Structure 1
Amino acid sequence: MKPGAVLALTGGSGFIGGHFAHAARARGYRIRHLGRQRPLAAAAGDEFRPLDLRAVDPHAPLLEGCDALIHLAAYIPRDHQDPAEAAHCWNVNALGTLHLLEMADRAGVAYVVQTSSANAYAPTSQPPDEDSALFPSSRGYYLGSKIMQEIYAGQYCRTAGLTLATLRLGSVYGPGQESGALGNMVRAAKAGQPIRVVGSGRFGSDLVLVDDVIDALLLVLERDSSGPFNVGSGARTSIAELAQALSDLTRSPIRRDMTEGESEWGFPALNIDRLKALGYRPKSIGLGLRAMLESRGQVPFDA
């Protein structure tokens, strides 16, 4: 895909989508946002079409004139333990994606990039590659819906002759992130307050800087690549290691809270060799944390 192409983008109001839209515009792409409302970070020249992934009409004329579909939107539960969330996850992430692909097919959009979750791999002692089994041991209502999204998308695109690239993302972080454990830790470190760690802080995952995710999306897009790609740093970082790194950078103390019990182990590092073959070079966790600490103000994302 070459600069100047029109990219239909879902999730442009989110953390990753907002960063992607900014970077894609800078490369010369034109953006057509699809969502329930126009993103706060949309530029004056961006197009907007209303779309609700909970009730997609495959016949709606929203994608005519677009060259590619970049599908980043997803429903993430507030409570991963609530079984009532399973239906919402499936309806938006799996079925919504399927109907969106039907819409793309009818409009003649032949290239699709979607994001999924690398945390959906089955537990393993070795960094999983793209051929490893997908079978999550936790957060199954959400991660199960992302697996079904991949299955539905793969089957539809094979049948319809669409080219599909799926980016399986590690745990994305970076400037503008205000919520979650890392956002809270960075905010405390900036203020010189104690950095709270629950239990031993053993929970960990492959943390990937949002800038690296954008680089991966653009690498795949500009090469018209297909198939699955792991997107991570290639290293696993625990909460305890994050706290120590932030403390080293800011001299903020670490406060261990043993009242809530021990957390789960989390997720492994990822094998990112396939993406590296395209030229992908992720940044270290140290550089990512420095970027978060040096960030001023909140990025205007809707979600």
Structure 2
Amino acid sequence: MKHVFITGVAGFIGSSLARTMLEQGYKVSGLDNFDTFYDPAIKRRAVGRLSENKGFKLYEGDIRHRETLDKIFSAAKPDLVIHLAARAGVRPSIEQPELYYDVNVTGTLVLLEAMRAAGIKDMLFASSSSVYGNNRKVPFSETDPVDNPISPYAATKKAGELLCYTYHHLYNFNIYCLRFFTVYGPGQRPEMAIQQFGRKISEGAPITLFGDGTTRRDYTFISDITAGIIACANNLKGYEIFNLGNSDTISLIDLVRGIEETLGRKAVIEWKPMQAGDVEITYADISKARRLLNYSPGYPVHKGLLRMFSEQGMC
């Protein structure tokens, strides 16, 4: 049985992944610092459910603290590290670039060094579709140039990919960098668009849309993401970059209409100008993941919205 160590284990993707891997028979341990980017009580509840499984162990701490990582790796001896911990969000990164660099870049470097010292050479790194910036070629392919990030968050994710390649080259690490495309589902972070829109529409509160409603996103349901991550864990060898997305897009205004239809409520919309750092479209070419991982997303947006809001008791 493979022992997996997940950083950011109490977050939306981390806790969902840990739950699925535990159900599949993996031994899972994880690290989280329960920062206040959003209500830590949400993360505590997610981890509390995981702790009901005897195959799970939680460590509290920060990926930037080398002594913490050394102690954990000495005690836990994981076979694989899945590095999800990061300071998230494009817009907040513009306001706090130094913090984002420290957590996302320095934290990744400290983690890689701790792995090297402990003799752990297998890692999956959570990157982001944001590295593509305003790439005019769609859908986005892993071979596209990604040298023009338009937010500090995107730049930190690109930097993380570069560090991962360096450790693969120098120390023969096996690392896959996974570019996630707008992940949503039950338990999504409260400030993310679908979760926020659904909550406000249910309450009759206004929602804010930036731009003219024509920006498009490739929204990916959480179970498709976890399936892709686990496929990577089972096929890890060498260094690769994979897009994990739904490979379909929907405009912002059509997303809102879909949420309205799912909830049976009309949205009150307040329009504001496009914000700095926002991209016009995200759209994943997943042909590589299909070919090498047998990755096949099963949730178009309408199906994902229904499952998400049903599981959250909203419809």
Give the TM-score band, short-chain normalised: 0.7 to 0.9
Aligned length: 291
Partner of 2:300: 284
C-alpha distance 233-107 of structure 1, shift in aligned 2 (>3 A): same
Q: Tell me what 2:8 maps to.
A: 11
Going from structure 1 to structure 2, the CA distance change for 1:137 and 1:148 (only over 3 Å counts) comes to closer
Which range moves more in the overlay, 220-229 or 13-22?
220-229
Greater Cα offset, 104-113 or 187-196: 187-196
Give, in whole Å, the separation in 1 of the partners of 2:111 and 2:247: 32
Which of 273, 276, 279 is the matching residue for 2:287?
Answer: 273
Separation in 2, partners of 1:219, 1:150: 19
**TM-fit CA distance, 1:104:** 1.2
CA distance in 2, matches of 1:114, 1:156: 12
**Pairwise CA distance, 1:193:** 6.8
Contact 2:69–2:111 (Cα < 8 Å) also in 1: no
Normalising by structure 1, report the TM-score: 0.87
Aligned to 2:213: 201
SS at match of 2:48: coil
Matched, 1:238 2:251: yes
**Structure 2: how far apart are the matches of 1:20 and 1:199?**
33
Question: How far did residue 297 of structure 1 move?
Answer: 5.8
Q: TM-score, normalised by structure 2?
A: 0.84
Tell me the equivalent position of 1:33: 30
Give 1:281's aligned amino acid. S
Matched position secondary structure for 1:40: helix
Q: Distance in 1 between matches of 2:70 and 2:257?
A: 51
Which residue identity lines up with residue 47 of structure 1 in the other structure? K
Deviations 1:16-47 (A, max 9, x none): 00000000101111112123368434324222
**Secondary structure at the residue paired with 1:229?**
strand
CA distance in 1, matches of 2:223, 2:117: 33
One-letter identity of the residue aligned with 1:293: F
CA contact (8 A) 1:95 1:149 kept: no
Question: Structure 1 pair 296/128, CA: closer, same or farther in 2 (3 Å)?
Answer: closer
RMSD: 2.4
Alignment of 1:126-145 (within 5 A): 126-138=138-150, 140-145=151-156
Instruction: Give the aligned residue type for 1:131.
Output: T
Between the aligned partners of 2:68 and 2:171, the Cα distance in structure 1 is 14
Identity %: 24
Q: How far does residue 48 in structure 1 lie from its aligned partner after superposition?
A: 3.1
Checking the alignment, whether the CA contact within 8 Å between 1:58 and 1:102 is kept in structure 2 is no
Partners of 1:32 and 1:49 within 8 A in 2: yes
Aligned residue number for residue 91 of structure 1: 102
Structure 2 residue runs of 5 or longer lacking an equivalent are 35-43
Q: 8 Å contact 1:201–1:240 — kept in the other structure? A: yes
Query: Greater helix percent: which structure?
Result: 2
Change (3 A) 1:190 1:111: same
* Native 8 Å contact 1:112 1:165 kept in 2: yes
Offset at residue 190 of structure 1 (A): 4.2
**For residue 57 of structure 2, what is the aligned residue in structure 1?**
47
Aligned partners of 1:10 and 1:71 also within 8 Å: yes
Question: Could you tell me which amino acid in structure 2 is paired with residue 40 of structure 1?
Answer: G
Could you report, residue by residue, the CA deviation over 1:63-122 in whole angstroms, capped at 9, with x for unpaired residues? Answer: 24211111111012562331xx22211211112111211111222212111100112114
In structure 1, the gaps of 5 or more residues are 299-303
Listed as ranges, the matches of 1:1-303 within 5 Å are 4-36=1-33, 39-44=47-52, 45=54, 46-57=56-67, 60-64=70-74, 65-76=77-88, 79-82=92-95, 85-122=96-133, 123-138=135-150, 140-177=151-188, 178-190=190-202, 197-198=209-210, 200-225=212-237, 226-258=239-271, 260-262=272-274, 266-277=280-291, 278-282=293-297, 283-296=299-312
CA–CA separation in structure 1 for the residues paired with 2:235 and 2:258 = 36
Alignment-mate amino acid for residue 289 of structure 2:
L
Aligned residue identity for 1:280 = Y
Are the counterparts in 2 of residues 195 and 252 from structure 1 also a CA contact under 8 Å?
no
Q: Note closer, same or farther for the CA distance 1:10–1:249 as it changes in structure 2 (3 Å cut).
A: same
CA contact (8 A) 2:201 2:267 kept: no
